[in-house]
Amino acid sequence: MSDEGRFDAYEHGGDEGETGQDGEEGQEVYDGSRKPDDDMGADRCHGQGGYGGPGNGSGGGPGNGPTPGPGRSPRIPMPRASVEDGGRPLPAPAESPAPAPPLLLEHQVLKALLGAWALAACSPEETLAVEDHLGDCGSCADEALRLREAVGLLQRPESLDLDPGLRTRVLEGCLDRRPPRIPVPDWATPYDAETARLDALLQDIGDAEWHAPVRLRWFQANEATSRRTTVAGVIAHLLTVDGLVAIALGLDDPLGEVSADAPTPAGRTEAYWRASHFPPTRSVRVPWREQSHDLVRTVSFTGGGAGRPAVSYGAFELPLRDAMLDRAFECWVHAEDIAEAVDYPYGPPSPRHLNRMIDLAARMLPAALAVRRRTGLASPAPGRHLVPAGEPGRTLRLEIEGHGGGEWLIPLDSPAAIGSADREIAHVALDGVEFCRLAAGHVSPTEAAAGQLGDREAIRDVLFAAASLSRM
């Protein structure tokens, strides 16, 4: 800053002739060819050849040679003028290449190209020629349409539904990496899996679908019966019947202060439905899901040894392990009822879990058959007699085909008898899912068997006994 209070490009004056006054030697006179700011910017360049910088023979400081004068070109390049401002003619635009002439192909050649055109395998020129031809030739247009539809059949549509085994594989992979501190008992995993699958279905449906009509079906005596309810009513039914297991484990009863006419699944369900001021809605999902979590958590902590109490169903009892398997079976059956009502894809349980459900039903058949005989629904044929406990008796071979299948020997003369292949008098074969639907009362006993061999009356008694396992 100089004494006059103005900014100088450099503080120390150079030799005479470098910093003269107006018009003196060394002073560059502004001639209007550039802005005054350009001079200021040039003066500020202290280096790389700028004024006042270290010299390389071209600077303006002391010992760097003379500064540019009026006859010299400016040291800072001037802005480049645009073509439009310079008055020079604009360059001619590049000419676009002329479009290629369309292919001129004969009718037979174009017809031969229809297959490649349907597969999108033609060149652009061939595609244009074929499509132009289709607008003029009706027979080729019909053929092209048929080929396009055939190409669509070659591509298998991919299902958007998740693989039913994905959850099992993910859980197994996670548990292999980090085993749980308190694992879920192996006999409780079917219930855990089926409640999770049903919960996934419930989260996918809308509010209106909770009021979709559902018909609960089961087999009573020798006739099929049903009860009409809604999707929410089915979940309320599962909540109240699962409550029988909760009571056996010391958990809260979902009925609360509501009293049922009978401590049976049907009696508890009817009591819950009557106590509801309004028809159940999707709000019933939360208590049902929380109770299922509590059941799995409790049996994981307490285990399921011989000392655990049995679960009472009113007219009969089941060990805790079998009761959890029974609840898994009913959860799957009613999930299919809901899926059918809301048009939702739903598959059977995994083969391992399905096998356990079939095994439970097969083990319950001798007792169910004995009950039907006592009530006169299965009259004993001449020559039938009770067999001492633990002794082999007349036997029916139950063959279950498909996933989760196997073979079971069903004693016919007494629940305490032992099935024996040497005393086999009948053989019946069914599909695994079909047998489970028979045990759920969704299939008529006269239509369920896929194959029968041997004593027809014994086969009929066993099939009707299987259907009698069902209940609301």
Q: What is the pLDDT of residues 30-58, one digit of tens each?
A: 444 444 444 444 444 444 444 444 444 44
Question: What percent of the chain shows pLDDT beyond 70?
Answer: 75
- Regarding pTM above 0.75, the answer is no
- pLDDT value for 240: 96
In angstroms, the CA 139 to CA 45 distance is: 82
Residue 108: CB atoms within 10 Å: 8
Pinpoint the alpha helices (H) of 155-230: 166-177, 189-204
Looking at residue 270, what DSSP letter applies? H
**Mean pLDDT of the 304-322 span:** 82
Distances (CA, A) of 173 to 170, 176, 178, 182, 332: 5, 5, 9, 17, 25
**Mean pLDDT of the 180-192 span:** 90
3-state secondary structure of 39: helix
- pLDDT value for 95: 73
Pick from 37-51, 113-127, 144-158, 223-237: least confident:
37-51
pLDDT confidence bin for 447, thresholds 50/70/90: confident
pLDDT in tens, 52-89: 444 444 444 444 444 555 556 556 666 666 555 666 67
pLDDT in tens, 285-299: 999 999 999 999 999
Structure tokens at 427: 């053989």
Structure tokens at 6: 């103005």
- pLDDT value for 318: 94
- pLDDT value for 157: 63
Looking at residue 315, what DSSP letter applies? S
In angstroms, the CA 14 to CA 55 distance is: 13
Query: Are 224 and 442 a contacting pair, CB within 8 Å?
Result: no
In angstroms, the CA 304 to CA 320 distance is: 7
The pLDDT of residue 404 is above 90: no
Round the average pLDDT of the chain to a whole number and report it.
81
17's CB contacts (< 8 A; 6+ apart) are 24, 25, 26, 66
